Structure 1
Amino acid sequence: IGATPVTALAESAGLAINNGIAVDSRLRTSDKHIFAAGDCCSFPMALYGGRRVRLEAWRNAQEQGALAARNMLGAELEHTAVPWFWSDQYDFTLQIAGLPEGAASVVRRDLGGGAFILFHLAADGQLLSASGIGPGNAVARNIRLAEMLIARQARPEPSELTSSDVKLKKLLAA
């Protein structure tokens, strides 16, 4: 269904708007004294070529709120967290790390018990995102490891991602 950020106050304050309140990588608005965080703001993601995104997820709002507070106190840290989402659908849990837009290929790893993960790869082999579904927490550990691989801009071999014999933790150590 989607959501529309409420930006009237920011607009009346003269702040730049771009699919929400436009902020820089440090969550600073077009007024250097005003910060914005969470669902209301769009920000550039270096991990995805500086593409501006707006994320509607509690984890993002929580991470950005804490980062904005640190930056208001002078930290000057950039927002670098990998997007992560989850949803429970009856007995199944869906978890997603990263953003799949721009993927040139998708490979699948079966985890058994009806659980699996799809890995979305860019044309150059960079892991962009991982989407998993399974009963309970069947995909949680693998999605967390995929999230770390995405953060490192890893380029694992597709055959390593599809093989249940290759542990994702081993790919992190490589």
Structure 2
Amino acid sequence: MNKRYTLMLAIFVYLSCAKPSPDQSEIKILKDAYRSGHLAVVMSILKEIQDKRSFVGEEEVLFAKTLFYQGNWKEFFSFWDSVQNKTPEIVLLYFKAVLISKEPVPVSTNDEFKLVELLPVSPEACLLYLKFTKDKNKIHEKKLFLAQSKQFQTHLDRLHLELGEKR
């Protein structure tokens, strides 16, 4: 157990003393700490980075994911408002947060459009959109989503065929 804390302290000191612009080794260390479940450590390091400079893309996604998995909804939604480049991963996290948090969050039409843009390529986006608009769905939209699900299944079947797996 002491080795873990020593490792996290070493990571924290290393990143604290590192130069202001990130390099791939710093981001790799952050990702490894995130994957091993050290969200508090990752969050403290990212907040320190945020105080010094703007995040690069990977750091921004890691910050959003850490806020999301910590359930820090107010800060997550505040961060969402400040993000300029809303990647598909961050958009999906945002709508998951809107659905599972108890915070009253007004979703702009622009934000909803970002989710709609992901519908053709993401089954997860389809599910989130259906849950988000569950009271507003029309019969025509449901037929489109059923057709979309068949298309996703066709792609999965082709993938299994290419991989040589039988279902």
Give the TM-score, by structure 1 length. Answer: 0.25
Give the TM-score, by structure 2 length. Answer: 0.25
Q: Which has the higher strand share?
A: 1
